[in-house]
A and B are shown apart, each in its own frame.
Chain A
């Protein structure tokens, strides 16, 4: 048996809601570590960054679902909604930690959104994801129709790029990690527009040539 189907069999046994439990559990655990003074000298920043990075991982994972299915025959489709909503949950925590524990003053929160380009960019990405989170349910899909719903949810592409950009822009000096994240996100989005939309037979020929 090929290894993609082994993986798919394993994945089939996992219930998708498990991701909510793991995601929320991780956030709660980090918060507890912060409250009990186990996050080092600057717990606010550690918590803030942990939530932001977790959201980025979820974004990349969510964007990887389709290419993984098509290129590696690994099927994560049933987790896609949970991945998206868990990403959004991390973003809500990221924003809350930033606004409440870090900046602390509501007037300053607004000033930062308007004045600081990397925060403007990050916030724009979050705003784009808001309708996606709100429509991540079967009722919305039925009401909007599959085509309209799918169209709306392509907003995840600009949102993800803004998220990657936000990560790059907040770094001091030239740092590799944020750049790798951004390039990965751009590649995953670009794949959707650049992949050969041809018949399976033609694709097989292409692979043989390659």
Chain B
């Protein structure tokens, strides 16, 4: 079992609420005064400067609510997130329906400031609040012989206007290898910036796997199945030549339709420079060993 991951960033590194809520105004002001100057007004505590709350919660891929980035923020309020329960089944000692309250009463919520890299070549930095996925799996009791974990998003046509269209084969499903699911970096997020996670970001609880492309971090989870077989994943089913099961962030392996070498950092303005994408999204030290003997161009 890997060591428990320690956050190198503290609360002090999170931009003050007054600043992040107003960043857009500050940027606009900075622009007016400085021409193309971008960073002057916002203090940079570290390389990982969290994206503003507004941007994190208004720019989402959650196709159950529509395919435009602004659709989830518009429509996700229709999703009922209480009561909520997660069915944990498969190769576990204690299968069953776990209510959200039940889960939360036994978990330790901590802050994790992670890079978030979308397969579409944009990125954010998100100050998540959540607990380690391993803690939840251990509570259910993973049996020996289990190799994978499958996840499923809620499917409610009455509350999700986007599922009228066959954009993907609903419900949305994802999966991880057991060592990935048990890795201390892998969390179930229940909050952002210390607030409850908004519906458009995957309330009430979602997966966050920071070294993989964002679509692996499945939202609004209702089912977790522990299994010995590699589970199907939505984007892989939709376009297998474009999206593999692993989908680790890798600047050297391009998506067939675009390069993955660089990324647009959201919230940095119209004239911002693209940033180089880091191997495993900057978490190579923590996770590269999981894939030591794998050809990552084959297992993309």
Residues on A facing B (Cβ under 8 Å): 34-45, 47, 101-102, 104, 108, 111-112, 115-118, 169-177
Contact = CB atoms under 8 A, between A and B. Distances in A.
Interface in B247-291: 254, 256-259, 264, 266-267, 269-271, 273-274
B199 interface: no
Nearest to A118: B257
Given A40-B55, A41-B54, 4 more contacts: A41-B59, A47-B270, A174-B168, A175-B167
Given A173-B63, A173-B238, A175-B67, A41 B267 contact: yes
B74 interface: no
B166 A174 contact: yes
Nearest to B54: A41
Interface stretch (B24-32, B83-91, B101-109): B24-32
B168 A116 contact: no
A41 B27 CA distance: 12
A104 B31 contact: no
Contact of B269 (A43, A102, A173): A43
Interface in B36-69: 51, 54-55, 58-59, 63, 67, 69
A40 B270 contact: no
A108 B274 CA distance: 12
B145 to A, nearest CB: 34
Nearest to B24: A37
A173 B235 CA distance: 8
A39 B167 contact: no
User: Which of the listed residues B54, B63, B120, B264 has the most CB atoms from chain A within 10 Å of its own CB?
Assistant: B264
Given A37-B24, A101-B271, A170-B257, A42 B59 contact: yes
B257 A102 contact: no
A41 B23 CA distance: 11
Contacts of A116: 256-258
Interface residues of B, number: 36
Contacts of B274: 104
User: Chain A at the B interface: mostly helix, strand, loop or mixed?
Assistant: helix
B299 interface: no
User: Chain B at the A interface: mostly helix, strand, loop or mixed?
Assistant: loop
B28 A37 contact: yes
Given A41-B59, A111-B259, A36 B28 contact: yes
Among all A-B residue pairs, the 10 with the closest Cβ atoms: A41-B55, A41-B59, A173-B167, A34-B270, A41-B266, A43-B270, A37-B28, A37-B27, A37-B24, A173-B168
Nearest to B165: A176
A79 B69 CA distance: 34
Nearest to B29: A37
A129 B69 CA distance: 31
B300 interface: no
13 contacts: A34-B270, A41-B54, A41-B69, A41-B266, A42-B69, A42-B266, A43-B269, A117-B257, A172-B67, A173-B63, A173-B238, A174-B167, A175-B167
A7 to B, nearest CB: 32
B100 interface: no
A36 B31 contact: yes
A36 B26 CA distance: 10
B81 interface: no
A42 B122 contact: yes
Contacts of A171: 67
Contact of B264 (A38, A102, A175, A176): A102
A116 B242 CA distance: 12
Contacts of B54: 41
B259 A112 contact: yes
Nearest to A100: B271
Contacts of B165: 174-176
Contacts of B264: 42, 44-45, 102
A64 to B, nearest CB: 25
Nearest to B30: A37
A209 to B, nearest CB: 37
